[in-house]
Structure 1
Amino acid sequence: MSLKKGGAITGRIVDAGGEPVPWIMVSALKQSADASPGRAMAFTAQMAQTNDVGEFRLASLTEGNYVVIAAPPPAPPFSQSTVSAGDLVVAPTYYPGTTNKDAAQIISVASAQTVSGLQFSLVSTPAYQVSGVVVDETGAPVRGAMVMLVIDVRNGGTGAALMGSSDETGMFRIAGVVPGTYRLMAGTQTMWRGGSTASGGIAGGAVAVTGGVFVGGASLGGPGVPPPPATTMATPIEVTVDNADVAGLKIVLTTRR
């Protein structure tokens, strides 16, 4: 039994003046063959970062149809955005240079084939703000909840998240959001004493602890590390940003033991 050799897509990301752009994350999204009519589904098959001359190579691709998307590096977690509503920001861009996934060029890759010569620039688009409030099961505001806005992975994409936190009134604001469909998630930080530290527990994710890893409160290792007594998280909410701010969202955190 012989295995088919994977294919590849290579290219280059440049700015508006034709100069190379390094450290851009580029992804090959494979189109699903069983997607329903009118709704093209895709998943991320391979990712790579452009080098110092803007070049990328997406290797080990199985036969099929792909679209290529490039995205700027994400902002540091919980950094305060200086972007105002309507300001232009660099947006995730599909080859040959569009923010609309339906206008992306389909690239067919055969076994052992290298599709080369792709060159395009990231597009700038107006950015908007997503805001709302985080409350607990009694309706009381939750301070210090971590809020994440992640591009909907059901259509592929980089998955880079925009992050924020709720203030003393439970309010959160995430700026610099380009049009698209996202999943809004939230959770609270859980801290351990006695030498172990924990990262924040985000809905749908894992809580990592020095000496062990916990998923949904179940220990996966790490002798002597107690599981968290409770994790508060919210069911992800689908949010569509369509050339306007999205306000008035309400995230309800529930306690899971």
Structure 2
Amino acid sequence: MTRTRPLLTGILLLATVAATQAVQQQRPPAPAGQGQGQPQDQGQAQGRRGQGPARDRAQQPAPQGTAIIAGRVLSVDNGRPIKRARVSVTAPAARVARATVTDEQGRFQIGELIAGTYTISASKAGFVDGIYGQRRPAQPGTPVQLSDGQQLGNVDMRLLRGGVITGRVLDEDGEPLARAMVTVMRYQYVRGERQLTPAGVDQSDDRGQYRVFGLPPGEYFVSATATGIAGALRGVAAAVIGGAGAGRGGPGRGGPGALGGGLGALFGAGAEADPEPTGYAPTYYPGVIAPSEATKIPVAGGQETTGIDFQLQLVPTITVSGIVVGTEGTSVGVTLLPDDGGAGILRGQMFRANTKEDGTFSIVNVTPGRYTAVARSGGRSDEPRAATQNLLVNGENITGLTLTLIGGITVSGNITVESSGTPAPADYSTFRVNLTSADSSAAAGPLGRFGGPGGGAGTRAEKNGAFTAENVLPGKYVVTAQGPSPWTLKAVNVGGRDATDQVVELRGGPDVNSVTVVFSDRSTQIDGTVRTAAGTPAQAMTVIAFSSDPLYWRAQSRHIQVARTNQSGAYHLQGLPPGDYLMIAVDDVEQGEWFDPSYLGQIKDAATAISLSDGDKKTRDLTPRS
């Protein structure tokens, strides 16, 4: 089964890409100069107003220079060269991305590079992906500054051999269960939030055996479902494409991960599901249904952890039926999303069906648990509408569930600038306003896809500074914005009140047309060098600047920024809002962990205080802290 995981991963990736393309959700590049740790672009709002001019998407020739990066890729455990490893160098600001493969001696060379700041990464099947300058997996790497004509050699990277988890999946009688989909998961930070995410997948063979390899050191959870590859594909696509198309086996009826439209045929949607009195629930090792009762499995680099055997649990299943009000005779998708209180992206098995012409629906074979029922209609050409309701499934059929579709609203306003001498922009179309979802419920992401990936909505400003985000569904949002240098966000006003960095709740009803976004050219800046106690530069350190007020300790906060020291130990931070901050340089932090309030609480006493006013440019040297 050693080849199964990359095959399944590729299939799942293709499913995700195909489904994403089906709804044509495009995410433009982040504005130039956007620092690490700042809010990210949340995608474009649907509709015609408020979007920037069409861009020429023709293939542009890659810029060529005279600089070279060369080195070797070696194994951590024995120092031997790794042949046929893939090495990539990227410089997002310069729009450069190049790749090559190591030779028999593990050597690589990438030439014709222009001057810029590059990230160098390497990968090979069976090893943990590595970034140049990493001290351990999951940490940020060290950027490399390259000048014109420079020949940077001896860039050696060492890859850690990945760990392995293997075992057997059994049925309720202790017999091997073939074609069970096994997922190995670990906690990671996604958009600044700690979530349970997949690290690898495999499908059990006729002996019930599975094997997942290439795992970074850490603690893992293992889950299994009896849906197989087709079920996994349906689940991925249903999560991505939302509510368009006919359900599995035709309108009005559905089951686990039922998928609609042409993609349903592509991914193997079969005949109409029949109600069954019992079914296999998604089960976690050592054989439990609740994620909170799952056992952690520690894995070291290169370690093979065997004997992770467990039985899938047979549970009673029920039917959820009801009506969606406001379908207007069209088929609307209804999805039951498992809601585990925010344990992670993988919340178990989804169930889905589509409405009949009269708006009724029936979802069969639903296993016990807490769910959020989500009904969605509309899409690229129609205004989106949605409805949600929480459900508790405990063994009894649920009938008469009523979901009333509510349309989105339009949020509009203007961008203004406060200048200390910089001419006001003649064209504001490079400015962007985002409504980032502040709702962590199970339905937040799927509902937000009407406006942008991951929850939320966004739009580019028009030339005169006006902006309009259409079809924003009701919910809680934080209004953020980005602009070209030297402009940084200063304030947000919604309906006459200050909403800067505050959660704004948008309710169904009247449009919101009184949003003012203020930019300033008085950007803050902090530069410095991190040196060891002996006074030598400390490279590959992570410098974290975070507000002294815990109110701002949240995912994607503007009041948290990070920078990575270069070969000289230097760092640069720009665009923090005025206020009081704490700063610290550390070498042991996971990517995105700096948004975690518990982590910031642990490091605050060892941090150095600094205050920033509008336009401040300060220098602060630091000493690494453990």
Q: TM-score, normalised by structure 2?
A: 0.30
SS at match of 1:117: coil
Q: Is the 8 Å Cα contact of residues 186 and 253 (structure 1) preserved in structure 2?
A: no
Partner of 1:82: 274
Partner of 2:343: 155
| CA deviation after TM superposition for structure 1 residue 116, in Å | 0.9
SS at match of 1:2: strand
Do residues 4 (structure 1) and 160 (structure 2) align? yes
1:76-115 pair list within 5 angstroms = 77=259, 79-83=271-275, 87-115=277-305
Between the two structures, name the one with larger relative contact order (CA 8 Å, sep ≥ 6). Answer: 1
Distance 1:160 1:99 in 2: 11
SS at match of 1:51: coil
Partner of 1:169: 358
| CA deviation after TM superposition for structure 1 residue 17, in Å | 3.8
Q: Is the 8 Å Cα contact of residues 163 and 304 (structure 2) preserved in structure 1?
A: yes
Partner of 2:206: 52
| CA deviation after TM superposition for structure 1 residue 83, in Å | 1.9
Distance 2:303 2:288 in 1: 25
Distance 2:195 2:392 in 1: 17
- Relative to structure 1, is the Cα distance of residues 159 and 89 closer, same or farther in structure 2, using a 3 angstrom cutoff? closer
SS at match of 1:52: coil
Long gaps (5+) in structure 2: 1-156, 232-255, 261-270, 409-469, 472-626
Partner of 2:197: 43
SS at match of 1:133: strand
Distance 2:356 2:335 in 1: 15
For the aligned residue pairs, the C-alpha RMSD in angstroms reads: 3.1
- Relative to structure 1, is the Cα distance of residues 104 and 110 closer, same or farther in structure 2, using a 3 angstrom cutoff? same
Long gaps (5+) in structure 1: 35-39, 190-200, 202-216, 218-228
Partner of 1:250: 403
- Relative to structure 1, is the Cα distance of residues 170 and 235 closer, same or farther in structure 2, using a 3 angstrom cutoff? closer
Ranges of 4+ aligned residues in structure 1 off by more than 6 Å: none
Q: Is the 8 Å Cα contact of residues 91 and 123 (structure 1) preserved in structure 2?
A: yes
Distance 1:241 1:64 in 2: 34
Judge which range, 146-155 or 159-168, deviates more. Answer: 146-155
Judge which range, 170-179 or 54-63, deviates more. Answer: 54-63
> What residue identity is the alignment partner of 2:200?
Q
Q: Which has the higher helix share?
A: 2
1:88-127 deviation per Cα after TM superposition (whole angstroms, max 9, x unaligned): 2111111111112222221111222221111122110111
Q: Is the 8 Å Cα contact of residues 142 and 166 (structure 1) preserved in structure 2?
A: no
Q: Is the 8 Å Cα contact of residues 163 and 214 (structure 2) preserved in structure 1?
A: yes
Do residues 69 (structure 1) and 223 (structure 2) align? yes
Q: Is the 8 Å Cα contact of residues 135 and 253 (structure 1) preserved in structure 2?
A: no
Q: Is the 8 Å Cα contact of residues 179 and 243 (structure 1) preserved in structure 2?
A: yes
Partner of 1:206: none
Distance 2:390 2:161 in 1: 38
> What residue identity is the alignment partner of 2:167?
G
- Relative to structure 1, is the Cα distance of residues 31 and 243 closer, same or farther in structure 2, using a 3 angstrom cutoff? farther
- Relative to structure 1, is the Cα distance of residues 244 and 33 closer, same or farther in structure 2, using a 3 angstrom cutoff? farther
- Relative to structure 1, is the Cα distance of residues 117 and 254 closer, same or farther in structure 2, using a 3 angstrom cutoff? same
Partner of 1:208: none
Partner of 1:144: 331
Distance 2:279 2:218 in 1: 32
1:196-215 pair list within 5 angstroms = none
SS at match of 2:352: strand
Distance 2:319 2:198 in 1: 26
Do residues 241 (structure 1) and 431 (structure 2) align? no
Q: TM-score, normalised by structure 1?
A: 0.68
Q: Is the 8 Å Cα contact of residues 185 and 234 (structure 1) preserved in structure 2?
A: yes
| CA deviation after TM superposition for structure 1 residue 169, in Å | 2.2
Judge which range, 71-80 or 172-181, deviates more. Answer: 71-80
SS at match of 2:322: strand
Distance 2:301 2:374 in 1: 39
> What residue identity is the alignment partner of 2:204?
T
SS at match of 2:287: coil
- Higher radius of gyration, 1 or 2: 2
Distance 1:29 1:231 in 2: 36
Partner of 1:214: none
**How many positions carry a matched residue from both structures?**
210
SS at match of 2:292: helix
Partner of 1:210: none
Q: Is the 8 Å Cα contact of residues 14 and 121 (structure 1) preserved in structure 2?
A: yes
Partner of 1:211: none
| CA deviation after TM superposition for structure 1 residue 162, in Å | 2.0
Q: Is the 8 Å Cα contact of residues 128 and 244 (structure 1) preserved in structure 2?
A: yes
| CA deviation after TM superposition for structure 1 residue 134, in Å | 1.6
SS at match of 1:102: helix
Judge which range, 244-253 or 125-134, deviates more. Answer: 244-253
| CA deviation after TM superposition for structure 1 residue 142, in Å | 4.4
